[in-house]
Amino acid sequence: MADKQISLPAKLINGGIAGLIGVTCVFPIDLAKTRLQNQQNGQRMYASMSDCLIKTIRSEGYFGMYRGAAVNLTLVTPEKAIKLAANDFFRHQLSKDG
């Protein structure tokens, strides 16, 4: 398995998929963080992060948690694909002959 080399397109696809999964998992938390930060001191809509997530799901539905995620998906997917493929390439190149 260590001698088998994965092609560059496969590495890019794997990195892109990793980026998609990462954004999908983290975006609701980032949305809640942003909404909590944007609250005015006198008018607090949310008491905590979980309160923000619950209220968002109730008012906007499950997919409301991902409103605005398209920009992150568009930018993060190629970035992660290139980053992970380059990491693997350079790790392989630099590990030759010690």
On whether the pTM is more than 0.85, the answer is: no
51 in any annotated domain = yes
Domain residues for the domain of 38 are 13-87
Cα–Cα distance, 13 to 80 (Å, whole number): 10
Cα–Cα distance, 28 to 76 (Å, whole number): 15
| pLDDT reading at 1 higher than 50 | no
pLDDT digit string (tens) for 71-85?
A: 989 999 999 999 988
**pLDDT band per the 50, 70, 90 thresholds, residue 95:** confident
**pLDDT band per the 50, 70, 90 thresholds, residue 3:** low
CB 23 within 8 A of CB 78: no
4 in any annotated domain = no
Question: Domain total for the chain?
Answer: 1
Interior angle at CA 24, CA 21 and CA 28, nearest 5 = 150
- Helices 8-37 and 49-60, interaxial angle, to 10°? 100
**pLDDT band per the 50, 70, 90 thresholds, residue 88:** confident
